[in-house]
Amino acid sequence: MKRETSPHPERILDCRGLHCAWPGGALALEDVDLTMRRGERVALIGPNGAGKSTLLRALIGLVPFEGEIHVEGLALRKSTLRDIRLRIGLVFQHPDDQLFSPSIAEDVAFGPAAMGLSADEVTERVREALDTTGLGEMAARNPLELSYGERRRAAIATVLSMRPVLLAMDEPSSNLDPAHRRRLIRWLQEQTDLTLLLATHDLDMAAETCTRAVLLSRRIVADGPIRDILADRALLERHDLEPPLGMQGMRYYET
């Protein structure tokens, strides 16, 4: 019988024996065990199709799974789905999949308003999230009219306004220009209280923002300090990854 509460309530996230399958039957995740403590910053790395996005979506019950997921000791069930979704803020891979309101301010306010917060509290959270992401002056703009980088920041703001206990980001640096990518890295570095789960191919970003790395290739193949995992070239190459450019030394193309 599945447990209703986690035996380790101090853990923010506790996944046990997680299996996810595609509609055709192929396994997307196989026997994944993952735990995270409050304030931990974990980079979820792996090649394309490793199951990174699937794992993040499973955490808030967007894909069917077998196994157990506990968030702050609360088991993921149909009855707890809403509570869990308010605890985990998931930033989707494509901001266009995340933004749906006529203006950025309304999109950012949607989550806090759905939580039943007072108008003053919602307004305060919207202001704070927009300031944090540098979108204060664009609050009234239609998300569909923004640049990709701005939409990405707006998507992050929609999640920040809900003040989740765990921020899960799916490829947050994809399609960002270098300046916005750097700004995002700095912002993540500044949020020292954040519990962060970052699914990414951008290993340089992972190295700069996380302390622990989990290498996923349908199942977890390595889990440890990010320095050790990123230094293991053979391990990375076996899983179609490369050490971060910062560790490789730049090699220029020469004819």
Which positions lie near other proteins, rule CB under 8 A?
57, 60, 62, 82, 85-86, 90, 92, 96-102, 106, 109-111, 113-116, 119-120, 122-123, 126, 144, 158, 162
Q: How far is the CB of 113 from other proteins (least distance, A)?
A: 3
Whether residue 126 contacts residue 112, with contact meaning beta carbons closer than 8 Å, is answered with yes
Helix (H) or strand (E) run with residue 197 in it: strand 196-200
| Closer CB to other proteins, 12 or 162, in the complex | 162
Burial zone of 23 (CB within 10 Å; 0-12 exposed, 13-18 middle, 19+ buried) = exposed
Whether residue 75 contacts residue 246, with contact meaning beta carbons closer than 8 Å, is answered with no
Rg (CA), the chain: 18
| CA 170 centroid distance within chain | 5
Q: How far is the CB of 119 from other proteins (least distance, A)?
A: 4
| Closer CB to other proteins, 123 or 175, in the complex | 123
| Closer CB to other proteins, 98 or 173, in the complex | 98
| Closer CB to other proteins, 160 or 230, in the complex | 160
| Closer CB to other proteins, 131 or 237, in the complex | 131
Tell me the C-alpha to C-alpha distance, in Å, between residue 84 and each of 46, 52, 63, 80, 122.
Answer: 25, 19, 14, 6, 20
Q: How far is the CB of 121 from other proteins (least distance, A)?
A: 9
Tell me the C-alpha to C-alpha distance, in Å, between residue 7 and each of 15, 16, 43.
Answer: 12, 12, 24
Q: How far is the CB of 150 from other proteins (least distance, A)?
A: 15
Q: How far is the CB of 101 from other proteins (least distance, A)?
A: 7
| Closer CB to other proteins, 36 or 91, in the complex | 91
| Closer CB to other proteins, 77 or 82, in the complex | 82
Q: How far is the CB of 149 from other proteins (least distance, A)?
A: 17
Alpha-helix residue ranges (DSSP H) falling in the chain: 52-59, 81-87, 104-114, 119-132, 148-160, 178-190, 203-209, 226-231, 233-238, 245-248
Q: How far is the CB of 142 from other proteins (least distance, A)?
A: 8
- Show Cβ contacts of residue 117 under 8 Å, excluding neighbours closer than 6 positions: 125
